Amino acid sequence: MPTELEPETEGGLGRTLDIRPVRVDALSAVRYIHASALRSQGSAFYTAGELEAFENLVRSVRYGETVLKDTMIGGWIGPELVATAAWGIVDDSGRTVRISSVYVRPFFTGLGIGQRMVTAVEDLAARAGYRSFSVRSTLNAVPFFEQLGYAVTSHGTRALAPDIGIAVSFMRKDFRGPGASSESEQKA
């Protein structure tokens, strides 16, 4: 599902973003994107020790198994993986999915790639019948998800190691696809 990038300024990349499933052979690139994105964009929110603990988690076998169990897609520009996003079922009712692993390589931020990745995983989950999405967002990404219609519901900690965790915000959004009406419109 290639999509044209719309750079925020003239002279941007203007190349095609090819969104497709991530396979195990891309795991090394996935790890690099996740670690470098949080280090680049999260340094104002997290300590050096917390960022190092996240990088150690990303390099672990457990992390590879975790990210590949969800439905992960990647955004490629040419042969380069530049972004990821995933979704997986999070509650026993089977009605809510968690959007996760939304990371864009630092050089490619500001081009709308993150938004396209989230929209793509939301569409995949919606086509599978899900209408409620949750996100466990790092603090630096809260404004990004708010722009996409997510609202903070609570705050917590994501464990990275036995004695180290990072602060996160839990966010939710209900899917409003084409033709959907709001709850208030349905009551009227």
User: Tens digits of per-residue pLDDT, 154-166?
Assistant: 999 999 888 889 9
Residue whose structure tokens are 């989950």: 125
Task: Retrieve residue 3's tokens.
Answer: 């999509």
**C-alpha to C-alpha distance for 50 and 39, rounded to whole angstroms:** 10
CA atoms within 13 A on the CB side of 79: 0
User: Which positions ≥6 away from 29 have C-beta within 8 Å?
Assistant: 74, 81
Q: What is the pLDDT of residues 11-60, one digit of tens each?
A: 344 458 999 999 999 999 999 999 999 999 999 999 999 999 999 999 99
**Per-residue model confidence (pLDDT) at position 92:** 64
pLDDT of residue 131: 87
Query: What CATH number has the domain spanning 14-130?
Result: 3.40.630.30
Q: What mean pLDDT do residues 113-138 have? A: 94
* In the chain, where the domains are located: 14-130
Residues facing 73 on adjacent strands:
21, 85
Asked whether residue 4 carries a pLDDT value surpassing 70, the answer given is: no
pLDDT given at position 64: 87
Q: What is the mean pLDDT of residues 79-96?
A: 86
